[in-house]
Amino acid sequence: MLPCMAATSDGPILYYDGTCGLCASSVQFVLAHDQRRQMRFGPLQGDSGRALAARFPVLNAVDSVVWVEDDTPRVRGDAVLALLRYLGGGWRVLAGILQRLPRSLRDACYDAVARRRHRLVARACLLPRLDDRARFLS
């Protein structure tokens, strides 16, 4: 089994662009709202991110976010919806609303933000708290 595909009982994995300030801020947001504390995180540029791309070559074109759950990667708008559903509560309701939009529109909105993400938020180093570090993959 590849290091990026640990047992699903360990929770989903959110892969993110490790060079992106918006992505680092988003991971901090998710850490603050993940009440189950089962989600793990990994930079796409890390060993586990590269192993994921080797296993699913279509992901080589993805450079901002990948959600992996039950051995299934999701990208773009589908990754965001999966994340919102996982967070639960009002975020799950928002996912239900956004799910009603056509995938092409969701992905176009996602792509617009992804193209500008490096300009929207300055580059930042993601330094998780000590008690969250075990949730991060290399």
- Residue-wise pLDDT tens digits, 63-105: 788 999 998 999 999 999 999 999 999 999 999 999 999 999 9
Please check whether residue 74 is in contact with residue 67, taking contact to mean a CB–CB distance below 8 angstroms.
yes
Average pLDDT over residues 113-135: 74
Q: Give how many domains the chain has, as a whole number.
A: 1
Q: Nearest Cα to 121, choosing from 29, 25, 27, 21?
A: 21
Average pLDDT over residues 102-109: 94
Q: In which band, very low, low, confident or very high, does the pLDDT at 126 lie, cut at 50, 70 and 90?
A: low
Q: Nearest Cα to 137, choosing from 56, 29, 45, 31?
A: 45
Q: Beta-carbon neighbour count of residue 109 at 10 Å?
A: 15
Please check whether residue 91 is in contact with residue 99, taking contact to mean a CB–CB distance below 8 angstroms.
no
Residue 36 within a domain: yes
Q: Average pLDDT, whole number, for the chain?
A: 85
Residue 132 within a domain: no
At residue 129, the pLDDT reads 75
Residue 135 within a domain: no
Average pLDDT over residues 107-119: 85
At residue 25, the pLDDT reads 86
Range scoring the smallest mean pLDDT among 89-103, 104-118, 123-137? 123-137
Residue 130 within a domain: no
Residue 100 within a domain: yes
Residue 5 within a domain: no
Residue 133 within a domain: no
At residue 95, the pLDDT reads 97
Q: What proportion of the chain, given as a percentage, has pLDDT over 90?
A: 49
Residue 136 within a domain: no
Full residue range of the structural domain in which residue 108 is found = 12-123
